[in-house]
Amino acid sequence: MNPLAVLLAVATTVAALATPPVGNAVSAGYLLLNPTTGPAKLKALAENAATIPVNRIYLSFVAPTMVYVPGSNTLQYSDIGYSSSGDYGFADVKKYVAQLQAGGVEVFLSMGGWNYNCYPYLYMKYSIAYFGKGPNYWKITQYGGGSAAGCNESNMWCYVCEPQSENTTLKDFIVFPEPDNASTWKAVQSTIAAGAKGEAVKWHPEIVGGAKFTDPVDKQTVTTVPGSNYFVTVNRDPYTDFVYLAKDLGLDGVDLDYEEMWHADTFRSGSGTGPFKLDQTVYKYTAIALDMVNAIKAIYPECKLSTAAGAAGAWSNNWWGGNLKGLWYYSNLWYPEVTKFMSAGANAGGINVMTYDLSNNNVYFECPDTTSNCELGGQVKFYMNTYATAGIPARVGYEIGQPAYPDPSNDPTHQIPLTQSALTEILNGVPNTGSVGGFFWELYKPKNSAPTGPSGQPNNIDATTVAQQMCAKVLPNAARCKGVIPPLDGSSPVTTASQLPTTSSAVPTTSSAVPTTSAVKSSTTSSKKTTTKTTTKATTAGPVTTGSGDLSGTACTVFGGTVCSNKVLYQCAYYSGNNLTWGKWTTC
């Protein structure tokens, strides 16, 4: 069926868009595709497009070494993981994109993700082992006998990119190339070099998939660069091809998810244990983004561009290694036109800050002000404030279920997953949650089922609960905010109120004190290209009775908010119609 026929068919069941056209008010979710559950996920979302509680979806992830020839209509060389035969899912994805758009949902395609950013050897050597201690050094101790020399290809360079339990091989990892075979990239290099305000630019086109690369520091260790060099063989620029693919799929935008901590630590400048500068990574990231900007202008002018950014990315204090602290600060400071393209105007897809996978283990200085506000809400507000201070409009990020960091097999007690009280605190305490919006990882990531309590995980919340409340904050009274993430078995989704929070949540005051040193934190982001479990169906529980207006002097204006009155706990939600009302839920 051609795209026009698809749109006409969908229009017979969707009388009008469930929400207005998407501007800055974005309620978004990332969707991890894989051959096992990816097609069912995308189909379920498309068939319920008008009622799902998000107005943007990020399809994840294409490889940064992808190849797409305009008009070829195949995903064969994108490594998106949707299918492994035929057109590799191209027609399916295009059909579902049209259905989602007809239901009022923007669709972006994301390049990167953690596994498509990680060079195991260099990440182990210079982001973790170099410092001789730190929150991830236990991997060197456990698998390498306490020394980087004990980490090798057979133990996945001590399992720093993915835990041993994931059974990954080096073929699962890819790094962002510098495709100097392409004239488009050479033009970008010239622009970046001309605007460089830090140390002299040094490019590394030799770091390309399959090549042998000699450790630039010890000058002895030789490793194979993860990924493919097919784009060189056929003389293509992956970042330009990314835009060609978006155009042929009819997407609303593309997303750059850049997380190369290994690059920042390998090519940093400074001595000893720091502080260091990550100028070379500022140049590389900005060059990749600029290549996409130029491609959009030349090929697909209506396409939007967004980027996923690290939590500490706009923090301008000294950088001590182990993360991407300050990357987006300096990119914006030196090349503001690139940030502006993504954050303002017709092509603005936004800056999505991954304010999750945080830790409250202050042995490694992981609380940003070192003394207080170590809980999730306090840290999120601190990091989002650094973006505001840097003049970078940014969107807050949430993670469903089990965080990837700190490693749950080694340090579960310092994980700070998203709870109802933390979500309420963030929604009420971060200004941009209403004006710019938010996003979460991932639409079908299950709620953590690990033990909760003093020696286990805090009680966390599921994807539908997060999506409904985030949606209501961004799109007040929009009908879609009452919807749920649809199940994969083809059954009809049940529209329901958010899951019951166990306690009413107060919003604490956040200190803005800034530490003089930074953590040596090697945090993964859980944006991993792995197979995920299917989601648990949304609860069908509901309130006993409903009412409206004020309750005990408290207006029902915040979705998911609760109040205890006469030993009865009431929750503010959509129970009927399009207005927020109080519902009697349980005793308190």
Give per-residue pLDDT as tens, 342-375. 999 999 999 999 999 999 998 888 999 766 679 9
Cα 174 from Cα 184, distance rounded (Å): 21
pLDDT given for residue 412 in this prediction: 87
Backbone angles phi, psi at 214, to 5 degrees: -90, 130
For residue 587, give the 3-state DSSP assignment. Answer: strand
CA dihedral 7, 9, 13, 14 (to 10 degrees): 10
Provide CB contacts within 8 A for 555, sequence distance 6+.
none
Which tens digits make up the pLDDT trace of 452-476? Answer: 666 666 778 999 999 999 999 999 9
Q: Do the beta carbons of residue 96 and residue 47 sit within 8 Å?
A: no
Residue 407 has pLDDT above 60, yes or no: yes
* Ranges 187-191, 205-209, 363-367: which has the least confidence: 363-367
pLDDT given for residue 563 in this prediction: 73
Which tens digits make up the pLDDT trace of 67-101? Answer: 999 999 999 999 999 999 999 999 999 999 999 99
pLDDT given for residue 513 in this prediction: 28
Q: Over the chain, what is the mean pLDDT?
A: 84
CATH architecture of residue range(s) 3-121+170-482: Alpha-Beta Barrel (3.20)
Residue 339, Ramachandran bin (φ over 0: left; ψ between -120 and 50: alpha; else beta): alpha
Residue 578 has pLDDT above 60, yes or no: no
pLDDT given for residue 528 in this prediction: 43
Cα 258 from Cα 349, distance rounded (Å): 15
pTM: 0.83
Q: Do the beta carbons of residue 330 and residue 198 sit within 8 Å?
A: yes
Apex CA 571: angle with CA 569 and CA 577, to 5°? 140
Which tens digits make up the pLDDT trace of 304-355? Answer: 999 999 999 999 999 999 999 999 999 999 999 999 999 999 999 999 999 9
Q: How confident is the model at residue 561 (pLDDT cuts 50, 70, 90)?
A: low
Helix (H) or strand (E) holding 310: strand 304-310
State the pairing for strand pair 581-587/545-546: antiparallel
Q: Do the beta carbons of residue 553 and residue 578 sit within 8 Å?
A: no
* Ranges 100-104, 201-205, 266-270, 544-548: which has the least confidence: 544-548
Spell out the domain ranges in the chain. Answer: 3-121+170-482, 132-166, 545-587
Cα 90 from Cα 73, distance rounded (Å): 6
pLDDT given for residue 493 in this prediction: 63
Is the Cα dihedral 347, 300, 60, 126 positive or negative? negative
Cα 588 from Cα 586, distance rounded (Å): 7
